[in-house]
Structure formats: structure tokens, C-alpha cells
Amino acid sequence: MLRRPLLLTALAGASLLAVAGCAPQEGSTTAAEGASTAASASTSSSCTPADLQTLTPGTFTVATDTPAYEPWFSDNDPGNGQGYESAVAYAVAGQLGYSEDQVSWVVGSFNAAIAPGPKDFDVDINQFSITEERKQAVDFSTPYYEVAQAVVTTGGSAAAGVTDLAGLRGLRLGAQVGTTSYTAITDQIAPTTDPSVYNSNDDAVAALVAGQVDAIVVDLPTAFYMAGAQLDDGLVVGQLETPTGGATDSFGMVLDKGSPLTGCVSRAVDALREDGTLDRLQQQWLDEAAQAPVLT
């Protein structure tokens, strides 16, 4: 169990142009195979702004939800290039040939983004786990981050002294509706009481503060942010291990089903993985998240 202050802060002076062209993460081909089949090939012969069929010619429109949480974004301002997902979005745009001022941000809710139907964005980046069910309604890029789920609580909660999954099973747990965090509760923790569901992580935090649940489950970097910035006496109890024989939970950018951009966006993500940019950005924005103990 860890007790942490807010550890993830914006690094001033970082050039977004540098973000677009740095160095390889040790990529995971298994994770890449988990993306949409459509992501494996581009429907355009060229992945340049002149040829890409974006919503607005010459503009790369990126969506995310509001508020935009740390450490994925900073100061609720996706356009400032600060935070892991903001930096990744600009890096992908740079790979495709878009300058910073050719990237346009729009607000889109998590649930609306993964629902069937036309989109008002070219890509949406908002901690979307790639799942087979979601791929029926939308396309995904290849993964830009592999993530664990984690348990967050407060010092006075019944979950504060827990060190294993067995200790969580008799507790009241909660998560945002429609997320892999909720699935992790039902499939990995398997509590004796049905978990509570909330429309947003903010609602889940409010329930935890009010004592309506003993702990909540979120992705690991968000768990550190909640424990350090949103909760008084917040604690990261630990992270959940990948189920035996199970696939790693991976985040991908969401695109419209059958989007002509999917292949090119995936190529851009793959290039950032291969040249080390994703690895560098993870170290810059998400490094502390690796330090949570694994709950077994």
C-alpha cells in the first residue's frame, strides 16, 4: 500500500515539435495485434495532410472528455501539450505532417465516443481500452499505452489495510460505468457485493469521500493522481495483475468505424513506439505509476 503526494507535474519548456520526433519504446507486438483489424492497413496511399480525409481539410481534429484528468492532460487544457495523452496526440499529428496549429481539440464524452454512429472528430484520445466488443462499433489505432488497473481508497477506509484480492472481496467497490475498470472488479476481484457504477471518475471519487464505497478501481496512473490530488489521505492500495493467459489492457485512439484514417494513425503510433517517443513520454508523465504493489 502506498501513500503518495501528487508526483506528476508539468515540465515547462518542452517543445511539442520535439515530442513529435524522439526515440523507441520496447514495443509489444502482442498489444499491437489487439488493435482493430482495420488499423493494419491504410486506405490512403499516402499519410500526408494533402491526402488524408480528415473532417476539415488540413486540420487534425482530436477529441477528449472534460474535465481532462492528470496525468493524461494538465490544467484541464488538452491543447497545451502537457500530460501523456496530449503529448501523444501532438506527436501523432506531427508524424502525419500536421503542425501544432493544425491540431484542433473538441470535447467528446467517453460513452459517446465508443457508441456507434458518425463522429465529430478524427481521433479521440481518452484512456480507451481496446476491446473486442468496442471494435464492433468503432476503430482503434494500435496501442499507445499498456495499462494496469489499480485500487484507490483513503486512510480511514476498510480497504486501507488490504494487501491482497481476498481482502477486497467483502468490501464495497465502485468504478466508472462501461470501463475495463468495472470489468476488472467483476472478473478479477469478484466481490461478494455487486460493484457500484458511476457516470464519471469524479462521481466515483465523491462516493468514496462520502463513504458510499470502500474503494474504487481506475487505471494505474489515474489512481496516483486521485490519491495525491483529489483525495485527502488518499492511498493506492495496489495494482491488479494481468490475468493468467489474458491480454494486456491497452489504450488506443478511437476513430469512426471504417475510418480512412485508421491505418495512417496506426502507422504514426507504431513509428512513435519504434523510435522511442512513447517510452520517453511515459517516463516523463507516467513513471511513478510503476511503483504500486501487485495484489494477488
Tell me, yes or no, whether 39 and 89 share the same domain. Answer: yes
Shared-domain flag, residues 262 and 232: no
- Grid coordinates representing 144? 499507445
The boundaries of the domain holding residue 78 are 27-146+251-289
- Does position 78 have pLDDT exceeding 50, yes or no? yes
**At residue 219, does pLDDT exceed 50?**
yes
**Is it the case that residue 50 has pLDDT exceeding 80?**
yes
Domain count of the fold of the chain = 2
| Structural domain includes residue 91 | yes
127 and 157 in a single domain? The answer is no
Q: What's the confidence (pLDDT) of residue 7?
A: 33
99 and 198 fall within a common domain: no
Residue 111 lies in a domain: yes
Regarding whether 265 and 140 lie in a shared domain, the answer is yes
Comparing 284 with 9, the larger pLDDT belongs to 284
pLDDT for 253 beyond 90 = yes
Clarify whether residues 227 and 271 are in a common domain. Answer: no
CATH number at residue 37: 3.40.190.10
Query: Which pLDDT score is estimated for 20?
Result: 33
Residues 135 and 165 in one domain: no
- The pLDDT tens digits of the residues spanning 18-36 come to 333 333 333 333 444 444 4
214 and 263 belong to one structural domain: no
The phi-psi region of residue 98 (left if phi > 0; otherwise alpha if psi is between -120 and 50; otherwise beta) is: beta
Q: Is residue 165 part of a domain?
A: yes
pLDDT tier for residue 243 given thresholds of 50, 70 and 90: low
Confirm whether 20 is domain-assigned: no
User: 140 with 40, same domain?
Assistant: yes
Average pLDDT over residues 133-137: 96
For residue range 157-201, list pLDDT tens digits in order: 999 999 999 999 999 999 999 899 999 999 999 999 999 999 999
Q: What percent of the chain has pLDDT over 90?
A: 75
pTM of the model: 0.73
Residues contacting 151, CB < 8 A, separation 6+? 159, 162, 168, 173, 215, 216, 217, 223, 236, 237, 238, 239, 240, 295
Q: Is the pLDDT of residue 277 over 70?
A: yes
Whole-number pLDDT of residue 247: 57
Nearest to 269 by CA among 283, 254, 252: 252
Residue 13 lies in a domain: no
The verdict on 222 and 193 lying in the same domain is yes
Region of poorest pLDDT, from 114-118, 202-206, 291-295: 291-295
Tell me the pLDDT band of 136, cut-offs 50, 70 and 90: very high
pLDDT at 51 over 70: yes
Structural contact between residues 153 and 214, judged by C-beta atoms closer than 8 angstroms: yes
The verdict on 140 and 225 lying in the same domain is: no
Give the whole-number percent of the chain exceeding pLDDT 70.
Answer: 82
Domain assignment of residue 8, yes or no: no
Lowest mean pLDDT among 17-21, 205-209, 221-225, 252-256: 17-21
**Which of 200, 171, 180, 166 has the alpha carbon at shortest distance from 134?**
180
Shared domain for 74 and 164, answered yes or no, is no
